[in-house]
Amino acid sequence: MGLEFGVEVFQNEYLPQGAGQVDAIVTVTAGGTGAPGREVEPAAAAEVVVIDTSGSMDYPPTKLAAAKRATAAAVDALRDGVRFAVVAGTDTARVVYPNGPGMEVAGPATRAAAKKAVNRLHADGGTAMGQWLLLADRLFAGQDAELRHAILLTDGENQHETPERLTEVLEHVAGGFTCDCRGVGTNWRVAELRRISEALLGSVDIVADPADLAEDFRSMAVAAMGKAVADVSLRLWTPEHAEVRFLKQAAPTLVDLTGWRVESAPRVGDYPTGAWAAGESRDYHLCVRVRPAGVGDRMLASRVSLVDPAGAVLGQGRVLAVWTDDVALSTRINAEVAQHTGQAELASAIREGLEARRAGDAERATARLGRAVRLAHETGNTDTARLLAGVVEVQDAPTGTVRLRRQVADADEMTLDTRSTVTRRIGRA
């Protein structure tokens, strides 16, 4: 199985004399867009659905009922032959399906049996998500499937486990599988689920209305089934005396990968990107600090490669630095870099604004959320602008003049918080 990856680099490679910071947007696109004769065979897959069955799922009871329907929808979306299991999570975790050890092969009979087992679930107990993830990890460890994906649903805070314990678990299971996280209702913590989803290279979102859960689960399972290649790493070569200041996934969502670097050779570091579907495209913002060379010198600031677990290179691009005394060249701002820099600032302005608001610091909240309104306007991020309007009253978007709303629905605030990392690409020809 081989997908080829296209790597495109957007940057202004010209630097003024003495400058050493190189910014680039690296667009990675997995090949095989389904052109005739070029369809990509799906890889062997395993799926675990983890649903919260803590006592609170019964308040209101529609939550547990919706979680059951959603799990059924996800199970129905699995391809025949995919290995799967369903886990119920409380302050411990147990396998709901299958009855025996390991996982079961998806087919008409096993799907029906799984749904029957899920329907018998009832809500009782606490919440310790680390336990849930450890059980999922053990289930995956018994499989040799290339693609290993989990869906995790919760409605509450991780009360029966310390944050330190969760950190330990995340370090232990990272790389074992990818996990999309969903919070139903408004009593869960955005920061907590984001930590899990980022460590496991998945998405995080709020499903405020339980009625929307089934469709959401179905589409997550469909997306997981569409992945063609797993465990792809982004490999950065940088020259001697250079330092990767950061590597962030910049689109479709903002994820900081800087801390996940694994040294694979001198001056070479690998960053996990998870699984890719044919035709999927993501942007990465790379910032490298190099030792400045002389005017007229040209330097390879980074070679960006996509590599599979065996180390085979699936695609490659290069980030350059050229020193010039031509100010017209060095002051040009690359549109892609500006767009993603603006969106990263937008996300942090939203997070800081919401934090200040929760802490009762109205002045800072107004300033940061006002800045966010202005950036959303400038970067053309209309979805975020709409969500911001649920939290602040916008008086003038171009200047970011806002007033905090007195009454803000929890769901509105949490939706803004979770979706603050969803970014938009600028239109490219």
Position 300 contacts another protein (CB under 8 A): yes
Inter-CA distances, 202 with 148, 193, 346, Å = 12, 10, 21
In this structure, the number of other CB atoms found within 10 A of the CB of residue 297 comes to 12
Region near another protein per CB under 8 A, out of 105-113, 183-191, 235-243, 384-392 = 235-243
> Residue 239 Cβ, how far from another protein at the closest point, in Å?
3
What separation, in Å, do the N-terminal and C-terminal C-alpha atoms of the chain show?
31
Is 268 in contact with 281 (CB distance < 8 Å)?
no
Considering only CA atoms, which of 55, 284, 64, 59 is closest in space to residue 159? 55
Please report how many Cα atoms fall inside a 13 Å half-sphere around the Cα of residue 59, on the Cβ side: 8
Q: Which helix (H) or strand (E) holds 348?
A: helix 335-358
The residues, ordered by sequence, that sit 6+ positions from 384 with a Cβ below 8 Å of its Cβ are: 346, 350, 372, 376, 416, 419, 420, 422
The residues, ordered by sequence, that sit 6+ positions from 107 with a Cβ below 8 Å of its Cβ are: 80, 81
Could you give the CA distance from residue 6 to residue 304 in angstroms, rounded to a whole number?
A: 11
> Residue 28 Cβ, how far from another protein at the closest point, in Å?
20
In this structure, the number of other CB atoms found within 10 A of the CB of residue 19 comes to 14
My answer on whether omega of the bond before 163 falls inside 30° of 0, hence cis, is no
Q: Which of 103, 301, 356, 394 binds another protein (CB under 8 A)?
A: 301
Q: Which of 116, 122, 245, 298 binds another protein (CB under 8 A)?
A: 298
> Residue 323 Cβ, how far from another protein at the closest point, in Å?
10
Nearer to another protein, 108 or 265 (CB): 265
Nearer to another protein, 239 or 272 (CB): 239
Q: Which of 80, 209, 215, 297 binds another protein (CB under 8 A)?
A: 297
Could you give the CA distance from residue 193 to residue 341 in angstroms, rounded to a whole number?
A: 24
The backbone torsions φ and ψ at residue 177, rounded to the nearest 5 degrees and listed phi first, read -165, 165
Q: What share of the chain is helix, strand, coil (3-state, %, to 5)?
A: 35, 30, 35
Region near another protein per CB under 8 A, out of 35-43, 271-279, 290-298, 373-381 = 290-298
Nearer to another protein, 122 or 291 (CB): 291
Position 287 contacts another protein (CB under 8 A): no
Three-class SS state of 421: coil
Nearer to another protein, 97 or 323 (CB): 323
Considering only CA atoms, which of 158, 216, 213 is closest in space to residue 187? 158
Q: Which of 57, 200, 225, 242 binds another protein (CB under 8 A)?
A: 242
Contact pattern for another protein over residues 354 through 393, marking x by CB under 8 A:
----------------------------------------
Site for another protein in 103-132 (CB under 8 A): none
The Cα diameter of the chain in Å comes to 73
Structure tokens at 77: 């979306």
Position 304 contacts another protein (CB under 8 A): no
Region near another protein per CB under 8 A, out of 60-68, 80-88, 114-122, 240-248 = 240-248
Region near another protein per CB under 8 A, out of 49-57, 181-189, 273-281, 295-303 = 295-303
> Residue 11 Cβ, how far from another protein at the closest point, in Å?
15
Position 240 contacts another protein (CB under 8 A): yes
> Residue 238 Cβ, how far from another protein at the closest point, in Å?
8
Q: Which of 96, 190, 213, 290 binds another protein (CB under 8 A)?
A: 290
Region near another protein per CB under 8 A, out of 101-109, 198-206, 232-240, 248-256 = 232-240
Site for another protein in 315-334 (CB under 8 A): 318
Binding site for another protein (CB under 8 A): 238-242, 290-291, 293, 297-301, 303, 318
